[in-house]
Structure formats: structure tokens, C-alpha cells
A and B are shown apart, each in its own frame.
Chain A
Amino acid sequence: MRTYCLIILFCSSLTAQAEDVAVSPIEVSLRGLSNRKQLLVTGRTGEDVADLTRSAAYMSESPEVATVDERGVVRAVGEGTTVVRIEAGGQQQSVTVTVTNLAEADALDFERDIQPILTRRACNSGPCHGKARGQNGFQLSLFGFDPDFDHQSLVKEARGRRVFFASPEESLLLTKPTGVDPHGGGVRLERGSEEYELLRRWIQHGAPRRQPDTPTLETVSIEPESRIMPYEEQQQLKVTAHYSDGSTRDVTHMATYQSNESAIAEVDESGLVTAGKITGETAIMARYQGFFAVFTPSVPLPGEMPADYYDQLPRRNFVDEQVYEGLKRLSLSVSEPAPDHNFLRRAYVDVIGRLPTVEEARTFLDDPSPEKRDQLIDHLLAQPEYAEHWANKWADLLRPNPYRVGIKTVLNYDNWIRDCFRKDKPYDEFVRELITAEGSTWKDGHVTLYRDRRSPDEITTIVSQLFLGTRLECAKCHHHPFEVWGQDDFYSFAAYFAKLGYKGTGLSPPISGSEEMVFAGTSGDVRHPLTNAVMQPRPLFGDAREIPSDGDPREALAEWMTSKDNPLFARTMANRVWADIMGRGLVEPVDDLRATNPPSNITLLTALGDDFRDSGFNIKHLIRTITTSYVYGLSSLPTERNVVDTRNFSRHYRVRLRAEVLADSWNQIVGIPPDYQAMPPGASAKEIWTHRVDSQFLDTFGRPDPNQDPPCERTTDTTVVQALHLMNARDLHEKLISDASWVHQLAESELQPAEIVENVYLAVYSRRPVEEELQIALDLYENTETSRRAVTEDLLWALLNTPEFVFED
């Protein structure tokens, strides 16, 4: 079997001819602990690039100086110089290897040399010894964020049994992970492996905490950074650590790898990427000691698109151009444009949160103007319902639990949010006012942000996530596992809120009802939980202005956050609005923008953010840009060459209508105004100011649990309970058969059956029935045994229980 495989490999390396073969690096210098190097062998034929690292044949001329294995890893053995010969793609190459200063390899530093092993073997991960109370009495800091603690834990605790200087091999640090002693985590390390040897030598030399003048790790780089990878192709990655003294180390074997979407491309523990059989782009993260680098593979659909296909597609604004660029990279085609009624329905639902009425639908469908789509968007953006719909979405993100902050406070906050949208407040102003809020919870609704989130760390988490798409919560307790943020960053950001003052009644049982003042105080600090140092306010990146000694630090923060130079601010909002309208974000989840979770189309997100910023953070402008693009009007029906696409907007993605939209549309169609608690009669669901208002309908369709903390993005999942509710809910049934309903009106009217059917179709589907549909309905009306009213009830019930009603198509 093995021979057979070798033959296949041998053959494939012979047949894989390439015009041009390159080896990286062209020269290798190994010294001390930097004693290995991954070679990358790349073949180019025309525009096609292939990784030949694993198929190349390697040979070292002087194995006593350096060896090379079949994966192209060069290892130092003795000082001197040798040449490694490489045969790949039918060509020969060579690389000179120099080995010096091997004695330095004994100067082992805990943080630089030992901790990476513990991280790589997942010893310090959450489910193992990294969890808050450790595992089986042995605790390490999560992902090694606290080297002093870890060193103490290994060397000083357990009466020196974890490291045993007199006989290093008998240290628990070596006997447990190798399975010599029973280990709940199983065998994690092989006896005699390179890492085993490092640990053993470190113990032998007294398990030092640090070496004098150890350079610090400054960054990590990856090679290559991106590549187009056809289905099932492979790519070896190389990860390099860069230190403060300018030295580097190949840490390919010590990094941990993770694919953002392993269905598109997966990665193994040696850094070998394998493309799957699904078209798309993803990110593969290599993490090493709190730093990471990202490789972006693009996996195109097999087969070719005609060269001028993308040039001939209609373009209405820059959105189209950018979407097509993305589709071109993946060889995906674009769906047909959607018919007018689809566009009409989408525009109403997306911009003002309800379906068009019969009259509105008729007006639009019969309008011959070629400009009518743009005109409709302008018309809708000018409606008062626009503000209620978008405020309702923001209330989801900001609205606190009234049992926590008081019911009156929640009402005030809701009013403030709605007022901002009614006045078209530019988004940067909206955020600045929130961040610098001062005043009374009974007068100034927006100070509720600070009543709800009371400590600087709580505020930091919500503010960074909502407005910068940056999830800092992890960094509160340990270095963020997928990001650059550490505790220093977290608490420096939190320090902007250190001087927040409170006066009045805080959150007090039982109901927290009274008034509270929030103001910029003069005292208070935030301390680093490990070092106890007082933290100075510092933004996450870039520079913020100085804070005058008597000033409110939040003003400097708000200025930095909303600055035109802060790309995250505009992009986060652009992505949110894009996701609301297009059915999914360019980045998902929408508030998780980071290098390891890249947008499906980075140039589009950049352009969209820039355009939003240049419009003066005008939300309506952003909505108009998206909804007047050609891409917004595409059909949801796939073509052969885009059915696999779920992220690149080659077609419209269907989404179930949001709870409030569905409720308001249902009520509008049946013609019975709702009567919600704590609301004026007839008020719509999107105007409701707290999720405490009872509604089985809204709960069924995924309105968030008002008790929940933190508030959650809602999902548009469908469930069996939703189907059952639309089918059988008693109150819906009673409304449908009520004398006050539209059904009754239609039945009593002078309208001919065909006219009734047309009205009903316009109300529910925003289109007229096709001939066949009309005939089915007319047959029902011709049956003399059932009344006009009963037929209309049945017809409306049936339409309201089809997906064409429940979904935005």
C-alpha cells in the first residue's frame, strides 16, 4: 500500500510540469533556537499558480549540517554550510543553508520558548487547564496571557513535582502529557519529539522564567497571504515570528490554525490548506502567542465565464461595480433582474417596514415611468414610517431590561432614539450624543445607556461592539483569541469612562424606578486587573486628542470614534444597514469586524463606508445607495453559475419578514387595527417601546426575550411554532372572520369575484394574479354552496399561509 502511494506521488511530481518554479526563501540562515525553516516551492504556468512544496523532492548535501524532510522543512544539525537541492515541476533548484551559534539554543526563555508549546498543545485552553479554576488542581492562565502566573504554577506549586530539576524526565510536565502518568487530557506530547526535548532541556537548566535581553515578539507574518485555489488544491503556509531585535523564527510548526469556513478551505495542524468543493472566499488564521496572520484563499467555481461578461452587466452605482469585481474573482454569474412587484415589496419592507397597500401596489405597478424605482425609494424615505422602522431596529440594540433600569427610563430612551430618526440626525451626531450623554434618566433618555451599563468595563464592551464592530469582551479577562486586543487595550479604553458620576437612585430592588443623574465627574480610575496600574485613556488604535484636566474624557473618545479617519466607525454601520437590506452582512456576524473574519467583499465594504462618511454619515443616503443599485433589484432565483453563492450577492437572498413587519403587514391586510398594551389604539408593532408589551405573535416570530442580557441580534429562523401560529392562532382566526375585517367588506361590496381576487393578491403578494391563479379562485366563487364571505376568508387564509407572504423574495 505504502509503495503504491509513493509511486503515485512520484508520478504526480513528474507530471506536474511548470513553466517557472520558485523556492522561498532563496537562502536559509539558521542560528541558536531559530533552528528550522519551512521552504515553499511554487510553480507558475501562465496565470495558474500551484504549490509544489509537498510534491517536491528534497536532498541535503551535508546532512551533518542540516537535514531536510519530505515536507520541505530544513533543520539545523551542526554548524557549517550546506546546499539543499530541490526537484519540482520538472525543474531543479537549490538553496544555501548556513548554521551558526547553535550553543545559544540552551538559553531557554519561559515566555518565548516554553509558553508557545503549552498553547500549541492546548494545555492552557478554556476546556483544559486554562479554565477559571484549572483542571485537576493545575491551572494556567487562559491562552497564556499571564506568564508570571503560569511560571509560578509550573515551577513553584505542587511541591516541585511539576518540574523536577534532579531528574527532568520525571517531571509531571513531561510524564502527564506523554501518558506515562494518567492524564485526563490524554496523550498530548510524544516522548522524544522536538517540543519534548525543549521542555526537558528547559527543566534541566533550572526552568528559568526569563533570559537576560530576550527580545520581545513584535509581529507574526504569513506566506503566502492570498491565493486563488481551485477545488481540492493544497497550499502549505509558512508562519514567521518577528522579534524586537530584528531576528525572526519560523514558527510554522508552533502556530495554531483555524479556518473561518472550513467547508471552503480547511487547514491542518501543519499549516497545510486544502480547498474544498465549495465556491467562495474565506480566511485562515495562524495564531502564535497573541499575534496572528491571515491567509485568504479564493476558491472559484470551475469552468470559465466569457471574458466580457462582467463588462456588459448594467451598473447603476459603485455598489454594482464592486459586487461584479467580487463575482469575477469567483467566476460566478449574476441572476436576472427581479420583476417590479418583487422590487416594490422589497422596497416597502426594507425602507418602511411593511407591505404596500392595494392602492400603493396598483399605483407603482401601473406607473410607466422608467424612473419609478428610484422615485419609490425617495418617496419611502420621506415617510414617517421610515423613522419608526429604523428606530425599532436600533431599539433592539440599545433597549435595556425595564426591570433593571425602570420602565419610565426605558420609555424616555425609546423616545430619544425615535426622535433621532425622525429628525434625520446624522449617525456620527447620534453616536456622539450617546457617548457623551449627561443628565437625568427622566428627562434625557439617552443617559439610560449609562444607567444600564454602569461600570467602565460594561460600557466598553457594548460601545466597542455596537459602534466599532469590535468585540472586546474576551480581552477583559485574557488576550482575545482571534484578535490583537489584550487587557491593556481593554482597560485603556475603559479608562475613558472612569470619571463617570452618578447621583440619585441607582439600580435598587425591587423595581429600580426612580430618577438618576449621570454626569462627567472629576474622580475615579480604572485599574489593570493583573498589575493594578491606573490606566490612562487610550483609543484602540490611532491617536485621540489630549483630555484637558477638567474635561470629560468621553468627549475625546466620541471624537476619535466618530472621526472621518476611523474606518471602523463608518464600516460597521454600513455593514449593519447592508445586512438589513440585502439579507446578510458583508461581514457576519454584523458587529464582528476583524482581520480573522474578513468581509466577503472588502473593497465594497470600504467603498460603502467611505461613501457613507462622505455623505456626512447620512443614513438615508446609505439606504438610497444600496436600494438604487442594480444588484438590489436582482431576482432571488439562481442561475447555474451562482446557485452555490450565499455571500457574494450574485442574487437576492430570501429572508423571513421580521416579527414587527409581519405583524404590521398582517394587520394591514386583514384591516383590523391592533391594540397593544401601553400604546395608543391602532399603533403599529414597530412603534412599541418595550418588548414587555405582550404579544404572542411577536414572540413567536423571534422578538427578543426582554429579560435577556446582553441583548442579542435576532435571527430570522423559521420554526414549526410560526407555521402553527399563522395557521391556527385563535386571535388571528377571530380577526379574519370578524365583521370588521376587510374580508367582510369585500364580500359585502359590489366588486366582481375577479376584482376581489385581484385586490387580495395585491394586498398579500403586491402583484396581480396570473390567469391560472385567477381561475382557481374564480372556481371557488362559482360554487354556490359556499358564501362569498367564506370563500374570501379561505382565499385570504391560504395566501397568508404561503411563503410568498412570509418571505421577502
Chain B
Amino acid sequence: MSRYLNCEGVSRRDCLKLGLGGLFGAGLVDMLRLSGQASGKTIAPRATSCILVWLDGGPTHYETFDPKPLAPSEIRGEFHPIETNVPGISFSEHMTKLGAMADKLAIIRSIRHNQGNHGAGNHYMMTGAPPRIPVGCGAFVSFHPSLGSTTAKLKGRNSGLPDYFSMPRMSRSGGPNFLGAKYAPFIVPDDPNKDNFRVRDVSLPGELETARFDSRRDLQGAIDRLPRINEPVAADPVVALDGYYEQGYTLVSSPEAQAAFDIHSEPDELRDAYGRNDFGQRALLARRLVEADVPFITLYEGGWDHHVGLFDRCRKVLPEIDQTLATLIRDLDERGRLDTTLVVMLGEFGRTPKINKDAGRDHWSNAMSVLLAGGGTPGGQVVGATDPQGYSAVDRVLSPENFASTIYTKLGIDPNQILYTPQGRPTHLVSDPTPISELMG
């Protein structure tokens, strides 16, 4: 049968297929928006979860994964390269533990873009879309849904557990934009390195006993008398909330579900290996959330804007990051989860070649290094290269769009699909939907 529906058309059949037969009163725009859910091709997911480590401020590429020993000293810096366990690949000297597992890692050295401000760079890397208007460094902006929010919308499990965690805060452009507040990250601000740490809201508060909670729940059931309108066409929102309460109760009262948040049950040795600091313990919590099948977790780590005293600062923070990341990847691997979990580490851009007068490096979006592991990513490889002095990506130059498309494709999300804004405007999920082939395995 030939149907000359305009490409953006949505037929009743589509709606029924989507199970939306009862959802009317929605208007054209809503229909279009809903049709966005079905516009992508079905892609077999390679990874079921993604842990995205965001080093806010823009981590230096020289002192992490792209050392330039042959560059003059004002570029080369104070650190030396080290050999990794993959012949021919060197990292900078503090990345020892990651260096010892380079066969499991892929490093992209050749992403470059044109957004040298924090606000803009964050937006580009967190969403795969450049900001529409010039954005200052201090700005927090959102013009497009983030990787995490889109994943929550398209790969959410509706299980009771939030689908997108961001800890301890949301990265600037990590929000849902037009997808709506439902797909905003679930923020866990508290420090998991503290003894009394609990994930907010998903467990009983404070010292409330389970028995008391159960009796409260019984009481709630007994006094709840608001009549429900059960005909689906009436679209009673109370019925939807009932479902969420049911999920919430299951989550709170199921020991298996609660185990996902309980990092106190981890052996001390492992907790030490992750690093006894907030970031280390957050990474450990992320691993537990992965085991509970949460599809997207952002670990936000501030303080990477090293305009001043870069080397002193890096001597402290690089070993910590190195230890935590290496432990996370190894731990996932030992539990057989690395193959289905994508671990990514990046910031908004790299840093300037010439060391400035304050022994720091400034913003530099012509080159940056991004780490990937797991989720079927072939390890032991470096994708692309910068020139011998690290000024610019020169070989296999890639864009943030390629990066975002890689993440989406691995998660089984077609980056070449159209989402609809509440304005009814069709928006490409990623404008260049080409993933990085070397990383696809």
C-alpha cells in the first residue's frame, strides 16, 4: 500500500501501535511529539548502562592521555610520559593504574569543537548539539536534551528506580530541555563517603523503622477513598499516581532493590580501592546502580579548570581519578558487567599548549582527550591524534556530534531520529548521526 503521508505525519495506526489510543485531547503537536518516540530505527543495544564521568572545567589533555614529550618545555610541562600495557601507547605519568589496563581502554585524542567557554563547551559535549547563541563561561544553558535525559526517555524502564542519576549535582546542560521535567536527572547530593549516607527518597528516611512504615502504608490504604475513574479514555491522572506509589512501595520494601543503594555492605578493601573520598564512593555507588540496571549515571567532579598551578593540583587529583576509574573498570569487568556498561570520562574541552604565567593552562577546544571503556568498545587503542605539540586534532578529526552518536548507538538509541519540541518543531537528535566506527567493535 502506498501512503504519501508527509514524513512528519502520524497516523492513527501509529498511535494505536504506540498504545496511545486512549491518549487524545492531545492535539497535533502532542501527536507529533509522541510520534518522535517511534521515529528512530531499532538498534540492538551494545550497552545497557552508561556511567559518564564529567570532569568539570576542562581536563588537560597533556597531563592525562596525550603527553607531548618532544614539544618544547613551555608546552611539554612538568610531567613525563609512561608506557602503558599496550605497546606504542603512552599516557602521562600519573595515569599509572589506567596505564596498566590500557588494553581495556580506548582514548579519543582528536575531538575538537569551537566552543571555548564552559557553558557552551558543557552544552556541546553533554547534548551533542552546539549552543544556538553565544554562551558565556559562567552561563548555565540548555537548548537541547542531554545524553542522560534522552536515554531516560527512550530507554527508561519505568521500574520505580529513576532512570537517570546525576551525582552530586546536575552538570550544567545535563537537563531534559523540551523532553520535560519527567526526564530530569535524579540528583543525589549527599556524600557517600560519610557513614550515615543514604540515597535520598528511595529508602526510608532517618530512623523510621520498617514496621512503622508498613503500618503507615496500611493506614494510607485504608483512608484513601478518592474514587478512581477507571475507564482508560477518561485518562484519570490519579490512576497513574497509584502506579507510581505501587512502584515506590516495592522499591522501599524490596531488600534486593534496597541493596542497590547500600554501599555500606561493600567490603572495606573494595571501598578503599575505589578511594575513600566522595568521588571514589560515588563511583562505587554507580556500579551498584548499574547492577540494578539504571541506564544512565553522571558522576560530576568539579575543579578541573586549572588556569593556575596546574601541576601541583594535578599531582593531587590525577592519582585519585586514576585510582577510582581503574578500580571501577576492573570491578565491572570482574563482575562480568563491563561488556554491557559503557564508561566514559571527559570534560568540556582540552587546555592550551603554552603554559601561562600562573603555571596553568587555559581553555582549548581544538583538542581534548576522551576515555571510553566497556560496552563493546575495543580496548588498547587510541583514536586520532593531535599534532606533535598538541595544538590541534589533526588526524581523524571528530566532533561532539560523533561522540554523542557513539554513546547513543551503543545504548541502542538511533542518533538519526527526530524528536518533536512542544512547538511541534522537528529536531534531529544528533545533527550528524555518525558514530565513531573504531569504537563500535
What is the interface of chain A, defined by CB distance below 8 A to chain B? 120-122, 125-128, 131, 187-188, 190, 256, 258-264, 266, 268-269, 276, 278, 280, 401, 403-404, 471, 473-474, 482, 507-512, 584, 588-589, 592, 596-597, 636-638, 643-644, 646-647, 654-656, 696, 699, 702-709, 712-725, 727-730, 732-734, 773, 776-777, 780, 790, 794-795, 797-799, 801-804, 806-807, 809
Q: Contact check: which of B3, B119, B181, B220 meets A717 at CB < 8 Å?
A: B181
Q: Contact check: which of B5, B138, B236 meets A510 at CB < 8 Å?
A: B138
Q: Which chain B residue has the least Cβ–Cβ distance from A584?
A: B25
Q: Contact check: which of B7, B203, B231, B235 meets A126 at CB < 8 Å?
A: B7
CB distance from A449 to the nearest CB of B (A): 16
A417 to B233, CA, bound (A): 39
Q: Is the CB of A705 within 8 A of B177?
A: yes
Q: Contact check: which of A278, A588, A727, A794 meets B248 at CB < 8 Å?
A: A727
A266 to B234, CA, bound (A): 20
CB distance from A690 to the nearest CB of B (A): 12
A507 to B136, CA, bound (A): 8
CB distance from A279 to the nearest CB of B (A): 9
A654 to B226, CA, bound (A): 11
Q: Contact check: which of A276, A403, A588 meets B12 at CB < 8 Å?
A: A276
> Looking at the complex, which of B98-106, B268-276, B344-352, B419-427 is the stretch in contact with chain A?
B419-427
> Looking at the complex, which of B63-71, B211-219, B399-407 is the stretch in contact with chain A?
B211-219
A262 and B117 contact, Cβ closer than 8 Å, known pairs A722-B244, A797-B216:
no
B82 at the interface (CB under 8 A from A): no
Q: Is the CB of A715 within 8 A of B181?
A: yes
What 4 additional pairs, Cβ within 8 angstroms, besides A656-B237, A807-B237?
A122-B7, A127-B7, A278-B24, A727-B252
CB distance from A758 to the nearest CB of B (A): 14
A734 to B200, CA, bound (A): 13
CB distance from A630 to the nearest CB of B (A): 21
Q: Which chain B residue has the least Cβ–Cβ distance from A637?
A: B227
Q: Contact check: which of B8, B11, B206 meets A730 at CB < 8 Å?
A: B206
B178 at the interface (CB under 8 A from A): yes
Q: Contact check: which of A592, A702, A734 meets B29 at CB < 8 Å?
A: A592
Q: Is the CB of B139 within 8 A of A708?
A: no
Q: Which chain B residue has the least Cβ–Cβ distance from A509?
A: B136
B440 at the interface (CB under 8 A from A): no
Q: Is the CB of A713 within 8 A of B10?
A: no
Q: Which chain B residue has the least Cβ–Cβ distance from A130?
A: B7
A428 to B204, CA, bound (A): 51
**List of A residues within 8 angstroms of B428 by Cβ:** 131
Q: Contact check: which of B119, B158, B244, B426 meets A723 at CB < 8 Å?
A: B244
Q: Contact check: which of B15, B229, B245 meets A638 at CB < 8 Å?
A: B229
Q: Which of B122-155 contact A (CB under 8 A)?
A: 132, 134, 136-143
CB distance from B34 to the nearest CB of A (A): 11
A730 to B204, CA, bound (A): 8
Q: Contact check: which of A654, A707, A777 meets B142 at CB < 8 Å?
A: A707
A776 to B219, CA, bound (A): 8
A665 to B412, CA, bound (A): 43
B394 at the interface (CB under 8 A from A): no
A799 to B226, CA, bound (A): 11
A809 to B134, CA, bound (A): 45
**List of A residues within 8 angstroms of B181 by Cβ:** 699, 702-705, 714-715, 717
Q: Can you offer 9 A-B residue contacts whose CB atoms are under 8 A? A: A187-B2, A261-B31, A263-B12, A473-B425, A597-B28, A643-B231, A712-B180, A729-B201, A776-B223
A403 and B141 contact, Cβ closer than 8 Å, known pairs A127-B418, A696-B187, A780-B219:
yes
B-side binding surface: helix, strand, loop or mixed? loop
**List of A residues within 8 angstroms of B175 by Cβ:** 705, 707-708
Q: Which chain A residue has the least Cβ–Cβ distance from B120?
A: A509
Max chain A CB contacts within 10 Å: which of B162, B205, B206, B426?
A: B205
A776 to B212, CA, bound (A): 17
Q: Is the CB of A263 within 8 A of B15?
A: yes
**List of A residues within 8 angstroms of B8 by Cβ:** 125-127
Q: Is the CB of B219 within 8 A of A798?
A: yes
B89 at the interface (CB under 8 A from A): no
B184 at the interface (CB under 8 A from A): yes
A723 and B225 contact, Cβ closer than 8 Å, known pairs A643-B231, A705-B177, A707-B141:
no
**List of B residues within 8 angstroms of A721 by Cβ:** 162, 186, 201
Q: Is the CB of B200 within 8 A of A730?
A: yes
Q: Contact check: which of A709, A716, A725 meets B201 at CB < 8 Å?
A: A725
Q: Is the CB of B136 within 8 A of A716?
A: no
A128 to B8, CA, bound (A): 10
Q: Contact check: which of B136, B238, B251 meets A511 at CB < 8 Å?
A: B136
What is the interface of chain B, defined by CB distance below 8 A to chain A? 2-12, 15, 21, 23-31, 117, 119, 132, 134, 136-143, 158, 160, 162, 172-173, 175-178, 180-182, 184, 186-187, 198, 200-206, 208, 212, 215-216, 219-220, 222-227, 229, 231, 233-238, 240-242, 244-245, 247-249, 251-252, 418, 422-426, 428
Q: Is the CB of A258 within 8 A of B28?
A: yes
A644 to B24, CA, bound (A): 10
Q: Which chain B residue has the least Cβ–Cβ distance from A716?
A: B237
Q: Is the CB of A728 within 8 A of B201?
A: yes
Q: Is the CB of A794 within 8 A of B24?
A: no
A655 to B237, CA, bound (A): 7
Max chain A CB contacts within 10 Å: which of B140, B201, B248?
A: B201
**List of A residues within 8 angstroms of B10 by Cβ:** 262
Max chain A CB contacts within 10 Å: which of B5, B139, B229, B422?
A: B139
A803 to B11, CA, bound (A): 35
Q: Is the CB of A403 within 8 A of B251?
A: no
A718 and B216 contact, Cβ closer than 8 Å, known pairs A278-B24, A637-B227:
no
A278 to B173, CA, bound (A): 41
CB distance from A78 to the nearest CB of B (A): 29
A170 to B150, CA, bound (A): 44
A703 to B175, CA, bound (A): 12
Q: Is the CB of B28 within 8 A of A596?
A: yes
**List of B residues within 8 angstroms of A714 by Cβ:** 181
Q: Is the CB of B136 within 8 A of A707?
A: no
**List of B residues within 8 angstroms of A716 by Cβ:** 237
**List of A residues within 8 angstroms of B173 by Cβ:** 707
Q: Contact check: which of A188, A474, A709 meets B143 at CB < 8 Å?
A: A709
CB distance from A306 to the nearest CB of B (A): 23
A401 and B422 contact, Cβ closer than 8 Å, known pairs A638-B229, A646-B24, A655-B237:
no
CB distance from B114 to the nearest CB of A (A): 15
Q: Is the CB of B225 within 8 A of A643?
A: no
A403 to B248, CA, bound (A): 36
**List of B residues within 8 angstroms of A719 by Cβ:** 182, 244
Q: Which chain B residue has the least Cβ–Cβ distance from A403?
A: B139
CB distance from B162 to the nearest CB of A (A): 6
A777 to B229, CA, bound (A): 26
Q: Is the CB of B24 within 8 A of A269?
A: no
Q: Is the CB of B7 within 8 A of A802?
A: no
Q: Which chain B residue has the least Cβ–Cβ distance from A193?
A: B2
**List of A residues within 8 angstroms of B231 by Cβ:** 638, 643-644
Q: Is the CB of B177 within 8 A of A262?
A: no
Q: Is the CB of A401 within 8 A of B237?
A: no
**List of B residues within 8 angstroms of A795 by Cβ:** 219
A509 and B138 contact, Cβ closer than 8 Å, known pairs A122-B6, A269-B4, A717-B180:
yes
Q: Which chain B residue has the least Cβ–Cβ distance from A507?
A: B136
A719 to B208, CA, bound (A): 24
**List of A residues within 8 angstroms of B162 by Cβ:** 720-721
Q: Is the CB of B224 within 8 A of A803?
A: yes
CB distance from B183 to the nearest CB of A (A): 9
**List of B residues within 8 angstroms of A473 by Cβ:** 423, 425
A794 and B215 contact, Cβ closer than 8 Å, known pairs A262-B11, A588-B27, A714-B181:
yes
A654 and B238 contact, Cβ closer than 8 Å, known pairs A262-B11, A280-B24, A705-B181:
yes
- Interface pairs A-B: 3 shortest CB-CB: A509-B136, A510-B138, A733-B205
A138 to B152, CA, bound (A): 35
A111 to B181, CA, bound (A): 44
CB distance from B417 to the nearest CB of A (A): 9
Q: Is the CB of B220 within 8 A of A261?
A: no
